[in-house]
């Protein structure tokens, strides 16, 4: 039974949602897959037809897919230009919105005089989809309607919750002195992405692992078990999610033990980083401890001050912006889990490695800052700052060195990017606790029988972030987990990224 049938049957029993249907029309290969590029495609299609009717337009900035604005006084000319554009692509439609409520959805070719009068803003695009992944509104060009406000003497968007409300500068050529751009991070601040990855099928890696594990006695089975290293091709699809939904990323670094995915081509946006390049003491290599590797990430040469760390089992489900990771002031947004807690007191010696890493992290924070933190983080992309991690390396030299020297996960480890570094950022006011939203995140334990229902929830809800985590649970056999995860990811991300070999 394939994954979709398996999930749908389970959901029918539970009364839950099912996988969304494909759109009736076939996918048009001429349409870009990433939402930002699709919005830019729509803009380039519309622009000549709108300018033919002398419709004054303004764009928020020069980024591909950026918001466009038109004046209320030019609605009829705007309508005619849109209808004319529909002659080129008759699948285009427009959503007429007032604040966040859709008043009406109209085929662009059928837009009638007066249809635009009650709208505050428009979304223009095509409902074409790819497989069972729904591009939805992410791929629609946003067009704000703006008007002169005589009381404020400003050209303002009718949609008061728009990311940019004041368009006076762009329409009248003057910059208001007190303009505040809500929801934007700093302009031109680069943000890179870092992955850690291991190919456990590599013969040299397996030989090194077997040689060193003979003399290692794990304090807990999960400190060095098969599930820790199994490769389900998640990196390929996690990278596809970054390509699709994280258009502002400057560069991607993949940290490995001198390995390289067989499907990864040379590409100017991706660099492979060897452990040898970032470990200050090469004598501790090879290492099979992700905590040790993560303790060196900030030592990547050329890495941006602000970066986002991905495990390869973490994915994006819809388009995100810089402001999903950093505040305007540059603070990292720390997403503490509402349900995953850290035990009070020292764990038992045989506790799982993350229990020990959590205990070690919160103990240091309480000792040095008097803060009591009892929550782990959600398994989401983690915003980090190089300067904060470098400060931790200097201030906690003993703890960091001990973590790097542990070839396998140990009871003395610090999980720096995923725990201690985030808590330390909060304690030093360079990170801020960010509220949890139910629609932002789905966590799937792929070894639990409930995973089928959660796969369907991801398809239906399109959360910003989701994690497909393999753990010690074996309600589903490991081989079957691999098959189900692969089937699911191929459905969600069917379009190869530009760095994949054909």
The residue length of the chain stands at 502
Q: Where are the domains of the chain?
A: 31-172, 191-492
What pLDDT score was predicted for residue 257? 95
Q: Is the alpha carbon torsion for 415, 420, 423, 428 positive or negative?
A: negative
What pLDDT score was predicted for residue 214? 79
- Using 50, 70 and 90 to split pLDDT, how confident is the model at 417? very high
pLDDT value at 465 more than 70: yes
- Which of 309, 308, 315 has the alpha carbon at shortest distance from 238? 315
- Which of 263, 253, 208 has the alpha carbon at shortest distance from 233? 263
What pLDDT score was predicted for residue 226? 54
pLDDT digits (tens, 9 = 90+) for 73-112: 999 999 999 999 999 998 999 999 998 899 999 999 999 9
pLDDT value at 2 more than 80: no
Q: Which fold has domain 191-492?
A: Spore Coat Polysaccharide Biosynthesis Protein SpsA; Chain A (3.90.550)
Dig out the tokens for 272 from the structure: 């492979």
Dig out the tokens for 265 from the structure: 């081509």
What is the distance between the alpha carbons of residues 140 and 160, in angstroms, rounded to a whole number? 19
Contact 351, 394 (CB under 8 A): no
Contact 260, 78 (CB under 8 A): no
Q: Mean of the per-residue pLDDT values for the chain?
A: 86
What is the distance between the alpha carbons of residues 481 and 237, in angstroms, rounded to a whole number? 16
What does 312-367 look like in DSSP terms, one character per residue? TTEEE-S---GGGTB-TT--EEE-EEEEEE--SSPPPTTS-HHHHHHHHHHHHHHH
Q: Which of 85-89, 178-182, 229-233, 442-446 shows the lowest mean pLDDT across its residues? A: 178-182
pLDDT digits (tens, 9 = 90+) for 100-158: 899 999 999 999 999 999 999 999 999 887 766 677 788 999 999 999 999 999 999 99
What pLDDT score was predicted for residue 477? 87
Q: Scanning the structure block, which residue is given the tokens 């820790």?
A: 228
pLDDT digits (tens, 9 = 90+) for 284-334: 999 999 999 999 999 999 999 999 999 999 999 999 999 999 999 999 999
pLDDT digits (tens, 9 = 90+) for 181-205: 333 444 568 999 999 999 988 899 9
Dig out the tokens for 471 from the structure: 């753990």
């Amino acid at each position: 039974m394939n994954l979709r049938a398996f999930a749908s049957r389970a959901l029918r029993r539970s009364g839950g949602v099912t996988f969304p249907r494909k759109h009736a029309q076939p996918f048009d290969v001429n349409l870009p897959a990433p939402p930002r590029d699709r919005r830019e495609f729509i803009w380039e299609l519309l622009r000549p037809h709108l300018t033919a009717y002398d419709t004054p337009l303004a764009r928020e900035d020069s980024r591909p897919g950026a918001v466009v604005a038109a004046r209320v006084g030019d609605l009829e000319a705007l309508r005619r230009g849109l209808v004319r554009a529909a002659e080129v692509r008759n699948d285009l439609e427009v959503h007429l919105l007032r604040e966040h409520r859709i008043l009406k959805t109209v085929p662009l070719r059928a837009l009638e005089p007066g249809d635009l009068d009650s709208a505050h803003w428009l979304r223009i695009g095509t409902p074409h989809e790819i497989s069972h992944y729904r591009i939805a509104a992410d791929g629609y060009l946003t067009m704000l309607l703006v008007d002169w406000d005589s009381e404020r003497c400003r050209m303002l968007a009718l949609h008061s919750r728009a990311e940019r409300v004041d368009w006076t500068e762009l329409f009248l050529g003057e910059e208001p002195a007190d303009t505040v751009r809500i929801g934007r991070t700093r302009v031109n601040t680069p943000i890179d992405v870092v992955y850690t990855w291991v190919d456990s099928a590599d013969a040299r890696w397996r030989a090194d692992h077997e040689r060193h594990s003979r003399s290692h006695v794990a304090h807990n089975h999960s400190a060095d078990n098969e599930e820790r290293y199994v490769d389900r091709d998640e990196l390929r699809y996690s990278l596809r999610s970054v390509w699709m939904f994280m258009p502002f990323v400057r560069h991607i670094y993949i940290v490995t033990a001198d390995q390289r995915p067989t499907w990864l081509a040379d590409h100017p946006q991706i660099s492979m980083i060897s452990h040898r390049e970032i470990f200050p003491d090469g004598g501790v290599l090879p290492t099979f401890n992700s905590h040790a590797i993560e303790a060196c990430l900030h030592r990547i040469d050329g890495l941006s001050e602000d970066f986002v760390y991905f495990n390869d089992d973490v994915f994006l489900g819809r388009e995100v912006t810089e402001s999903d990771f950093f505040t305007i002031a540059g603070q990292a947004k720390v997403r503490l889990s509402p349900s995953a807690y850290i035990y009070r007191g020292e764990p038992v010696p045989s506790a799982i490695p993350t229990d020990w890493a959590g205990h070690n992290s919160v103990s240091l924070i309480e000792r040095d800052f008097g803060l009591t933190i009892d929550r782990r983080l959600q398994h989401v992309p983690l915003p980090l700052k190089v300067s904060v991690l470098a400060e931790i390396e200097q201030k906690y030299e003993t703890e960091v060195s001990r973590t790097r020297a542990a070839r396998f996960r140990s009871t003395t480890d610090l999980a720096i990017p995923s725990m201690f570094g985030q808590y330390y950022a909060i304690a030093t006011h360079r990170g801020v606790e960010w509220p949890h939203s139910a629609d932002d995140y789905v966590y799937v334990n792929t070894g639990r029988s409930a995973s089928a229902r959660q796969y369907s929830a991801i398809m239906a809800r399109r959360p910003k972030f989701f994690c497909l985590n393999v753990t010690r649970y074996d309600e589903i056999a490991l081989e079957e987990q691999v098959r189900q995860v692969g089937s699911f990811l191929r459905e969600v991300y069917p379009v190869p990224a530009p760095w994949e070999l054909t």
